[in-house]
Amino acid sequence: MSMMYGGQELIEDKSCFRAQIGCLCGTSSCRCCCRFCPSVNESTSTRIVYIMFLFFGVAIMALMMSEHVQEAIMEMFPDENEVCLWLGAGEKCEAALGYTAVYRLGFAITAYHFLLMLITCGVKSSRDCRAGLHNGMWFYKSLVLIFLCFGSFFIPDSNHLFISVWMYTAMAGAAFFIVIQLFLLVFLYHSWTDKLAARVHNGGSSCCWYGGVAVSLSILMYLICACGVFLLVKFFVPEMRCRLNLWFIGINAVSCVAVSVVAIVKKGPKDIRLRLLHSSLVCVYVIYLTWSAIGSAPREHQEQTDVWIGPGHDVHTRPLLPHEKFYCGPKVEDKMVDEILPYITLLITFITVMYSVVGTASSENCKAIEFPSCPSQQSVQRHNVEDIGGQKVARNEASGVTYSYPLFHIMLGLATLYLMMSLTDWYSPFTANLMTFGRSWSAVWIKIISSWVCLIIYFIVTIFPTMLPNSHYRTAPINVSVINGYAGSLRSVHSLDDEAAVPLSPSKQTATVHQETTV
């Protein structure tokens, strides 16, 4: 952009330095320094930065749970350190490491997002001054987060009251996060079947979409379930001593058959083939959770007792010897793989959790859980592009936010609690370390209970639809709008399934035209 001053043309400075200063100390969204990068939406840029902040926080938590890091830090402190003693953390601050350090960092990060949630309540567009705090001012927000993290270690806890109360509070928050994600997952499958129904309602062939797509996918999903159950029994029940695994597999397999029968028997507005597709998708996810659960058992759970009946019908017991201890699952002989696996599991867990967080704050999922002040659906509109140096940023929230800011921070806070509890082994933090991540009985029970909750939610959706929010609108007529050749959102004005769609679902297409102007 240029302007005339005193008869001379002045060219506005466009530099990466100016753009980053606007991001750190101003209200501009963050961007890359490379001008050749494609333009990014301000809503996308902001969420990426928040996720990066949480990633570094979780990485520090993971390091605190590493025994090698704990030993290195404890060696740095001399004996009788005054600061450590004043904090009640022991002579070498041993109580400020391990799960207690993770709890304190998790408390600080959760408080940080709770504060931002309060600040951003009611924000309607990025023109709001509070939206500038949400999208920019990263230097000041970083200082606040660092202050909270350091301050959390100065919270006195001589009787372990703070740690104990915070553990149960975080456990409740993490459980609530799991329930929300399972709730939205069930409605994700609802939205998929609704899209197939919409194809038929708008002139598509029922033979093609119902008889071809729905039936074929249902058969495929049930075959996957059957093969999954067979493989689980084969690899995770190698002998009859593995009764717990057999019970888990049997209960979930029978439950999957039961909900499938309910889907057939229960009459509803949907075609029976769509109801079977929905139940088959739920069953596949339940079998996956079953595999994930029994695969999370400790590699050596050896508290077993051998029982036999001797002469005179006397019952004799003895503990198993070390060489008789066993693990009910496929054994990994390569120790390197066994040591790297926790890090890979933690990374995958973080990615899936962040995917869920971003999707939950979207407009359709915000309305599905009936969160107040949800953003409205975006229509076809023109977006200005901010070009002050480096990558261009599209101001796609100038007329209205694309996701709920307060709900986004709530979900980031709950995700922090979930990751914190996963790292500290839920209700057994005293024996937890990084190498036991995802390999404990607490992880087994959390995943198994999650599979049961998923089945219960689906059962409620199928049997008692009136118990769901806005469920009396479910039979509204269905239409589909096609934008740029893709199936658009379900335009049933009062349909709950329209509002309960998936995180980052491609079904909700928004036609956007970027109008390049210099700001």
Provide the residue-wise pLDDT of the chain in tens; the chain has 519 residues.
Answer: 444 444 444 344 566 677 677 777 877 777 776 666 677 788 888 888 899 999 999 888 888 887 777 777 667 665 556 666 665 566 666 666 788 888 989 999 999 999 999 998 888 887 888 888 888 888 899 999 999 988 888 887 777 788 888 989 999 999 998 888 888 888 777 777 777 777 767 766 667 666 777 788 889 989 999 999 999 988 888 777 778 888 999 999 999 999 999 888 887 667 778 788 888 889 999 999 998 888 888 876 444 444 444 454 444 454 444 444 566 777 665 555 566 767 777 787 888 888 888 777 777 777 777 777 777 765 545 566 666 666 677 777 777 888 888 889 999 999 999 999 888 888 878 777 777 777 778 888 999 999 999 999 888 888 876 655 554 334 343 333 333 333 333 333 333 333 333 333 333 444 444 443 333
User: CB within 8 A of 17, min separation 6: which ones?
Assistant: 389
Residue 302's pLDDT is 41
CA distance from start to end of the chain: 8
pTM summary value: 0.75
Pairing outcome for strands 305-309 and 40-41: unpaired
CB atoms within 10 A of CB 372: 10
Residues recorded for the chain: 519
Taking alpha carbons only, the member of 296, 161, 146 closest to residue 236 is 296
H helix or E strand, kind and range, residue 134: helix 129-135
Measured CA distances, 388 to 33, 41, 107, 115, 138 (Å): 11, 15, 37, 30, 17
Which strands make up the sheet holding 40-41, listed edge to edge?
40-41, 393-394, 381-386, 512-516
The domain total for the chain is 1
Report the alpha-carbon distance of residue 302 to residue 323 in Å, rounded: 10
Q: Is residue 510 part of a domain?
A: no
Q: What is the spatial distance between Cα 286 and Cα 275, in angstroms, rounded to a whole number?
A: 17
Place of tokens 């990994």: 332
Residue 517 maps to a domain: no
Is the separation of the CB atoms in 453 and 178 below 8 Å? yes
What pLDDT sits at residue 450?
A: 92
Residue 190, token pair as written in the block? 């609802």
Sign of CA dihedral 266, 268, 271, 274: negative
Helices (H) and strands (E) in the chain, counts: 17, 10
DSSP 320: P
With respect to residue 473, please indicate whether it lies within any of the assigned structural domains. no
**DSSP conformational letter for 317:** E
In single-letter form, the type of residue at position 92 comes to K
| Alpha-carbon span 343 to 337, nearest angstrom | 10
Sign of CA dihedral 366, 369, 371, 377: positive
Q: For residue 341, is it within any domain?
A: yes
pLDDT for position 264: 86
Return the bridge partners of 362, or none.
Answer: 403
| Strand, coil or helix: 324 | helix
147: CB partners within 8 A, 6+ apart = none
Which residue range is the domain that position 174 belongs to? 10-298+336-374+384-463
Q: What's the rounded Cα separation, in Å, for the pair 517 and 512? A: 15
**Res 300: pLDDT:** 62
Question: Residue 89's closest CA among 80, 66, 427?
Answer: 80
Q: What are phi and psi of 201, to 5 degrees?
A: -65, -25
Tokens of 255: 């439950």
Residue 136 lies in a domain: yes
pLDDT at 465: 67
In-domain check, residue 485 = no
Exposed, middle or buried: residue 440 (CB in 10 Å: 0-12, 13-18, 19+)? Answer: buried
